[in-house]
């Protein structure tokens, strides 16, 4: 569905409305717009409003466009409610999100520790093919030596998934 810039801008701004029905309606319209809305939603992830970031992450999770994976990983370091929505979106896009999340954990294990642990634990629990490579990463994320172990275990997991 092609949308015009003006309508897209209106829907994005409505994601920060104090009225929940307006936010939900705008999110629904953006999800219906699909990939056309993804760049604007990715930009909304940087907004100062937690509500805006939450709604944008929720919409991106429903659209499931691979272009949103890395921006969603970036907000795993956000406040708890936004982190949870971003993590849920990444779980829904597991085929695209796992390699990118493992690379993020190699580079910045402390920054993505909590959100990464949530995503990978969930995926390892639900997907038999991911259990073996991801379980050591989850264990490393929960260890006292996580900053040392996570990059090593993430590299091993990436190799096993290739």
Same domain for 96 and 56: no
CA distance 90 to 86: 6
* DSSP percent split of the chain into helix, strand, coil, nearest 5: 80, 0, 20
Q: Could you say which of 63, 94, 112 is where a domain stops?
A: 63
What is the pLDDT confidence band of residue 3, given thresholds at 50, 70 and 90? confident
**Structure-token pair, residue 150:** 């996570």
Q: Is the pLDDT of residue 43 over 80?
A: yes
**pLDDT (average), residues 129-136:** 96
Q: Summarize pLDDT for 68-93 with one digit per residue, the tens.
A: 999 999 999 988 899 999 999 999 99
The predicted structure's pLDDT at residue 4: 86
Q: Tell me, yes or no, if the pTM score tops 0.85.
A: yes
Which structural domain range is residue 104 located in? 66-162
The predicted structure's pLDDT at residue 150: 97
The CATH number linked to 29 is 1.25.10.10
The predicted structure's pLDDT at residue 80: 83
Same domain for 110 and 32: no
Q: Summarize pLDDT for 114-132 with one digit per residue, the tens.
A: 999 999 999 999 999 999 9
Q: Is the pLDDT of residue 38 over 80?
A: yes
The predicted structure's pLDDT at residue 2: 61
CA distance 161 to 87: 20
Task: Tally the domains of the chain.
Answer: 2
């Amino acid at each position: 569905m092609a949308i015009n810039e003006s309508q897209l801008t209106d829907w994005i701004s409505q994601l920060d409305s104090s009225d929940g029905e307006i936010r939900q309606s705008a999110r629904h319209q953006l999800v219906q717009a699909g990939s056309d809305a993804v760049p604007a939603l990715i930009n909304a992830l940087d907004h100062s409003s937690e509500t805006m970031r939450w709604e944008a992450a929720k919409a991106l999770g429903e659209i499931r466009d691979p272009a949103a994976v890395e921006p969603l990983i970036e907000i795993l370091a956000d406040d708890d409610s936004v982190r949870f929505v971003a993590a849920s979106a990444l779980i829904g896009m597991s085929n695209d999100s796992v390699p990118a999340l493992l690379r993020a954990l190699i580079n910045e294990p402390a920054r993505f520790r909590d959100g990464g642990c949530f995503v990978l634990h969930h995926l390892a629990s639900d997907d038999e093919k991911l259990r073996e490579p991801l379980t050591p990463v989850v264990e490393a994320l929960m260890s006292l030596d996580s900053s040392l172990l996570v990059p090593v275990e993430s590299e091993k997991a990436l190799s096993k998934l290739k």
